A and B are shown apart, each in its own frame.
Chain A
Amino acid sequence: MKDLVILKKENCWKRIGVWGQETPRCPELKRVIHCRNCEVFTQAGRNLLERELPEEYKDEWTQILVEKKEEEFPGTLSAVIFRIQGELLALPARLFAEIIDPSLVHSVPHRKNQVLLGVTNVHGEIQLCVSLQRLLGLEEEAPGKDEGRKRYKRMMVVNKDGEKWVFPVDEIHGIYQVRPERFQNVPVTVAKAKSTFTRGIFKWDDKYVAFLDDELLLYTLSRSIQ
């Protein structure tokens, strides 16, 4: 009987709850305020865990639990490392909303701007698509130079104070933990635009990665778009 009730109310949070637009609104909302406080929503989440245990999951965790727990150092940053042309760059992982496959960028008429590429569709929402390459003044690599390297073009969706930006990149390497002592200062002799946006550099796989200053970067971006 209880199962029946839940089945009938299935997805109610997407219809009459906080993630839906349908009326009449769920009468329970007055009491619980948000669907995440509601028993039905909790139960639906729990039901997902009632699935069969996949063998691969079990094997994976068997391996993970064999390893000693890595100690987390204070000040450790998670950074997403990505590549634009020949440059390895990184941004704090907390900024990222998601990584998506490259999608079509529509240019905006009467908006001739070096940095603004246009708008793109992210899950049905229109977001600004911006070229980090041009903003940072990174040079186009000579054709043929990157032949040995695999090309996995992606788009990064970055979320800062509710504003979303989409950046096309040539490759995403993933999320890495960077210990604070591994950061080095940017050499003062580097006088490119890139260096002003770089907060520090760190070594990763024998290569140097520039950790970008997200505050300055996104501030400059919103200024240049206006």
Chain B
Amino acid sequence: MLILFFYLGDVKYSIKCEKVREVAPMVTLKKVPNTPGYFAGLFNYRGMIVPVIDLCQLIQGRPCEMRLSTRIILVDYLRDDDTPYVLGLMAERVTEAVRKSEDVFVSPGINMGEAPYLRGIVMEEKKMIHYIDLDLLPESFNFLPILKNSVDNAREEH
């Protein structure tokens, strides 16, 4: 399967490409007040309002550096009522995708508590790379209901 690598600071992370719709260059984001720091803002993605999460801020506690290699990974999700929903994940040095077999994913078997999406590890040439579980990622954004409201509000403004 195809795995996308990126960096948050000096640490390499990976995600599965199955749900990735597109990797887009950095765009101008519409800031939303009174939201957590890792919520970078909204942007118009082909007519859809897409919220963007700053993974650097979420995991490292500092915003992504604005470089040419800083990109937005657009991930497909489904809402409760099965309507499609796209979430943008901003990360640094999104430059590499590789094919790996399923068995490179290993679980260290620890309870991550605050960050359940960081549970897995990908082994590459004896190195360990964090694996972010995209299915578990939105669960930790407790502001998602708020986010849905703000998406609606943004629509009404336009």
Give the size of the chain B interface in residues (CB under 8 angstroms): 17
Rounded to whole Å, the gap between the CB of B52 and the closest CB of chain A is 12
Number of A-B contacts (CB under 8 A): 53
Let me know if B67 and A46 touch, CB within 8 A: no
Let me know if B93 and A49 touch, CB within 8 A: yes
- In the complex, whether B24 has a CB less than 8 A from a CB of chain A is yes
Q: A residues within 8 A CB of B24? A: 61, 65
Within 8 A of A (CB), among B36-81: 43-47, 66-70
- In the complex, whether B28 has a CB less than 8 A from a CB of chain A is yes
- In the complex, whether A58 has a CB less than 8 A from a CB of chain B is yes
Let me know if A58 and B47 touch, CB within 8 A: no
Let me know if A66 and B28 touch, CB within 8 A: no
Query: Out of B25, B66, B95, which one reaches A61, CB within 8 Å?
Result: B25
Q: Which chain A residue has the least Cβ–Cβ distance from B47?
A: A68
With A58-B28, A61-B24 known as contacts, the answer to whether A52 contacts B66 (CB < 8 A) is: yes
Rounded to whole Å, the gap between the CB of A181 and the closest CB of chain B is 25
Q: A residues within 8 A CB of B95? A: 46, 49
Q: A residues within 8 A CB of B27? A: 58, 61-62, 65
Per-residue CB contact flags for chain A residues 48-70 toward chain B (1 = under 8 Å, else 0) read: 11111100011101100111110
Let me know if A53 and B46 touch, CB within 8 A: no
Within 8 A of A (CB), among B61-109: 66-70, 93, 95
B binding-site residues for A, Cβ under 8 Å: 24-28, 43-47, 66-70, 93, 95
A binding-site residues for B, Cβ under 8 Å: 46, 48-53, 57-59, 61-62, 65-69
Q: Knowing that A57-B26, A58-B27 are A-B contacts, what are 7 other residue pairs whose CB atoms are under 8 Å apart, sorted by A's residue number?
A: A50-B68, A52-B66, A53-B26, A53-B70, A61-B25, A62-B43, A65-B45
